[in-house]
Structure 1
C-alpha cells in the first residue's frame, strides 16, 4: 500500500466532482441511507457488513433493505475510508431494485483534505447523487452551532466553504453535512433536514445503522 499514490488517486478523482444539482431537491423522494460495520473493528482482516435502506420521504417509511457481507482486508486509515468500505457498498447498491434519487452515506462528502470523503468517492465512481452525513469532525474550521434544533454553521476546509455543521437536536453533538457528488452544498443540507425525524441523525442512515447492529449480532451468534 502506497499512501502517496492513494492521495494522488483521490486528487485526480476530485477533478471529476460536480457540485451542481443534478436533480431539484424539492423533487427528491427516495433516499438511500448507507452504513457499514464490522464483526470486529480492531482486527484485520475482518468481516464487513454493508446495509442500504431506501426511504420514501413522502410516505415516511422504508421500502427496501439490502445487505452485503464480505471479508475486508484494507486497514482503517483516516481520510482513506473509501478504499476500505466502498467495495462492499458498491456491491450492495447494485442489489437495489427500487429507484433512488440520492444516496446518503454515513461519512464525509467533500469535508476532506482532498475533497474525497467516502460519499464523494462513491458519487463519482457510481455517477450518482450523493451526500455525506458524518457524526464526528474530520477536518476543517467552524464555529459551534447554537444549542437549538436544526441550528447550523458553515464549515471551511483550507478557507473554502465545504459544508455545514448541523445541531439536529438541542443538547446533542452536531453532525457534519456536505455534498458527495452531483449536488450542491445548500441542497445537501436541505435534503438532510427533510430526512430528520425524531432522532439526531437522518432517518435513512439511522435505519441502516439499526439494521446493521441486528445483522452483526446475528453473525456473531451464528
Structure 2
C-alpha cells in the first residue's frame, strides 16, 4: 500500500505520520538534490534533524553526484525528498534510476515516501507546471513518478493562489492538481488522501 507525506514547507504533521506507519522505519534516505541550485537551504538540515529526532538513521543521497540510486534506496524504509527546483530534481531522478526504484518500492509497500515542495511535486503524474517557472535543468519529458493521481502545487499562501487556480483550470485535462499552503500536507494511504494541518515544528527554520 502506498504511503506518502506530501508537504509544502512545514514539518509539523510529519512525526504523527511517521508514528502511524504500520512498521516504524529504521533507516531514512534524505535526498537534498532539488536544493542544490539554491544559495542556501537550511530546510535540508532541518529535515535531517527531525528524522534523527524520531530515531531514524539518516543517510544523504545527492542524486546529482551519483550514477545510481538503487543500492542506497534498497536499504531504507523511508525516503525524504526536500524542496528546491523540481525540474532539476526530476532530471537527476531519471538519470540515476531513482524514479523507477522508488516508484516500485512505494507501490509495493516496502518504502514510505515523504516529500516537501519539489519533493512532493515529484510524485505527481506530470511536472509541466514547474517547467514554465524558474527551474534549471532540461528534461525531455515532464512525467513524474505517478505515485499520486495529482500534482502538488506548494506555497499557495506565498501569493501563488491565483496562479495555481488558473493553471489547474486551464490544464486540468488528464491531470489533477492539489494546491496547498506552507502549513498543510497531503497524507496519502493507498488510494485515499486528505489535506491535514502541518504547522511549524521546532525543527523548522
Please state which structure has a larger fraction of its residues in strand: 1
Point out the structure with max Rg over C-alpha: 1
Q: Normalized against structure 2, the TM-score is what?
A: 0.36
Q: Normalized against structure 1, the TM-score is what?
A: 0.34
